[in-house]
């Protein structure tokens, strides 16, 4: 019989198997650095093939953080993807809201018994400490106390604000992608917004695709264009400076937008190593709402609907996300995001002792 390591629901603190490390650091961002610098092999084992895939996304629960100790949060989380660790993920937060309400395993969620159901609304409020700050979730529950999949989960995110509006980015001649060249252009105008992470927001037509996301544009062409644009933007570090946390000073993704109706738009988010968000991107909804407020297109209290290419192609009306600007503060716009997440299964992953590729692999041509 060979020895193997079985990876079950992954947490960073209590009741860990011997081989699962304790993340060092007094703050969540310090624990994030520890995960990235010392224990990234665990992320790779789960996110990469053959256990995961190039579009895999994950959440590592952290039971103790500086904000759980102070009573400001109920549990912490680190988000991970194909490249590393992101500071915010709205859809993962929505999914975690349901999971954390449904679990009664105190080794996973020590503060579970502190959650209280509001009898008048049928909602349970949960405070999630993400690397960007507190994400306050409202999770609908059924009379039996289980989360209700027929009603959307909502969250209130961190203050969101544009940092650059109508930024003109010159594309070097050797980096111009075919569609932009065909349009006779060598520059792109876009906006940069912080919404728990930094995003560049750009229209499909601005990238040289006049038919938009619903036209003849292929994902390969969009991938090429956004990869080139992200590489250029990421080198301009002065564009991505968080007011207080240097760990958040980077561009997470590019959201390609297409307005489809009044107060409704479709978007596709390319993030990390050109990973494609299947959802409308919860933090991206925050970014687009904050930009709309700054531009004067949206007013406080207005609600907009956001689709991804998945919800447009395979869903029904209302299967995207809804965003509402609920408060305007000096530090930014507070946005409420509503969406749904569903259980698909429960898994255990095995790493056998003599596996030549224990950390998984990424498919590609040799350099």
pLDDT digits (tens, 9 = 90+) for 205-254: 999 999 888 765 788 999 999 999 999 999 999 999 999 999 999 999 99
- Mean pLDDT for 36-43 is 94
Q: Please indicate, yes or no, if residue 109 is contained in any of the structural domains.
A: yes
Residue 346 within a domain: no
**Same domain flag for 126 and 192:** no
Q: Which tokens go with 238? A: 């002065």
**Is residue 191 predicted with pLDDT exceeding 80?**
yes
Q: What is the DSSP secondary structure assignment for residue 175, as one 8-state letter?
A: G
Mean pLDDT of the chain, nearest integer: 92
Q: How far is it, in rounded angstroms, from Cα 288 to Cα 162?
A: 9
Any idea what the CATH number is for the domain that residue 237 is in?
3.10.310.10
Average pLDDT over residues 289-302: 96
52 and 124 housed in the same domain: yes
Q: Are 143 and 124 in contact (CB under 8 A)?
A: no
Are residues 175 and 79 part of one domain?
no
Residues 291 and 269 occupy one common structural domain: yes
Q: What is the pLDDT of residue 263?
A: 85
Residue 362 lies in a domain: no
Buried b or exposed e, range 157-186, using 16+ CB within 10 angstroms: bbbbbbebeebebebeeeebbebbeeeeee
Residue-number span of the structural domain to which 92 is assigned: 4-152
- Of the three residues 117, 152, 187, the one that is the final residue of a domain is 152
Residues 192, 330 within the same domain:
yes
Q: Which of 213, 338, 201 is nearest to 282 (CA)?
A: 338
The residues carrying an active-site annotation are: 89
Give the alpha-carbon dihedral of 192, 305, 101, 71, to 10 degrees.
40
Please name which of 289, 285, 310 lies closest in space to residue 301, comparing C-alpha atoms. 289
The answer to whether residues 117 and 212 belong to one domain is: no
**The pLDDT value given to residue 1:** 35
For 265-274, what is the mean pLDDT? 95
Q: Which residue has the tokens 């011997």?
A: 18
The reply to whether 16 and 36 lie within a common domain is yes
Pair 170, 134 in one domain:
no
What per-residue confidence (pLDDT) applies to 13? 40
- C-alpha–C-alpha distance, residues 250 and 198, integer Å: 7
Residues 141, 169: one domain? no
Residue 358: inside a domain: no
Domain end position, chosen among 152, 183, 214: 152
| pLDDT higher than 60, residue 12 | no
Same domain, 64 and 100: yes
Contact 60, 80 (CB under 8 A): yes
- Determine the pLDDT at residue 21: 75
pLDDT of residue 8: 54
Per-residue model confidence (pLDDT) at position 312: 83
Do 299 and 190 have their domain in common? yes
Question: Residue 6, SS3?
Answer: strand
pLDDT of 70 over the 50 cut? yes
Rounded Cα distance, 96 and 125, in Å: 12
**316 domain-assigned:** yes
| Residue 213 or 2, more confident | 213
306 and 179, same structural domain?
yes
Residue 134 lies in a domain: yes
- Weakest mean pLDDT among 5-14, 17-26, 182-191: 5-14
Confidence check: pLDDT of 77 > 50: yes
Predicted confidence band at 10 (pLDDT cuts at 50, 70, 90)? very low
Q: Work out the average pLDDT over 16-35.
A: 83
The verdict on residue 359 lying in a domain is no
User: Quick check: is 282 in a domain?
Assistant: yes
pTM score of the predicted model: 0.93
Burial tier of 229 (Cβ tally within 10 Å: 0-12, 13-18, 19+): buried
Q: Which of 128, 152, 176 is the last residue of a domain?
A: 152
The count of domains in the chain is 2
């Amino acid at each position: 019989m060979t020895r193997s390591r079985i990876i079950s629901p992954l947490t960073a603190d209590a009741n860990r198997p011997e081989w699962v490390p304790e993340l060092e650091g007094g703050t969540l961002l310090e624990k994030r650095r520890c995960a990235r610098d010392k224990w990234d092999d665990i992320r790779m084992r789960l996110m990469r093939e053959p256990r995961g895939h190039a579009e895999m996304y994950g959440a590592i629960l952290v039971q103790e953080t500086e904000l759980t100790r102070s009573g400001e949060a109920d549990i912490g989380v680190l988000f991970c993807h194909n490249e590393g660790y992101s500071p915010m993920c709205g859809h993962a937060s929505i999914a975690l809201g349901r999971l954390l309400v449904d679990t009664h395993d105190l080794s996973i969620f020590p503060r579970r018994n502190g959650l209280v159901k509001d009898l008048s609304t049928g909602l349970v409020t949960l405070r999630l400490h993400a690397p960007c700050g507190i994400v306050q979730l409202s999770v609908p529950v059924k009379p039996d106390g289980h989360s209700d999949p027929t009603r959307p989960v909502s969250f209130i995110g961190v203050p969101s604000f544009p940092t650059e509006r109508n930024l003109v980015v010159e594309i070097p001649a050797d980096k111009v992608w075919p569609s932009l060249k065909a349009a006779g252009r060598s520059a792109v105008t876009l906006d940069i917004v912080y919404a728990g992470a930094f995003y560049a927001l750009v229209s499909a037509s601005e990238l040289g695709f006049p038919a938009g996301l619903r036209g003849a544009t292929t994902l390969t062409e969009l991938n090429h264009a956004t990869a080139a644009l992200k590489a250029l933007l990421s080198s301009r570090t002065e564009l991505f400076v968080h007011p207080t946390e240097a760990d958040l000073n980077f561009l997470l993704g590019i959201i390609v937008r297409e307005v489809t109706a009044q107060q409704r738009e479709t978007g596709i988010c390319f993030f990390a190593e050109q990973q494609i968000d299947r959802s409308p991107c919860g933090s991206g909804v925050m970014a687009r709402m904050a930009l709309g407020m700054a531009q004067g297109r949206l007013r406080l209290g207005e609600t907009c609907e956001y689709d991804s290419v998945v919800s447009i192609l395979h869903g029904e009306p209302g299967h995207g996300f809804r965003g509402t600007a609920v408060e305007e503060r000096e530090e930014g716009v507070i946005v409420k995001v509503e969406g749904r997440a569903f259980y698909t299964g429960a898994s255990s992953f095995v790493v056998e002792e003599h596996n030549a590729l224990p950390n998984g692999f990424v498919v590609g041509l040799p350099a």
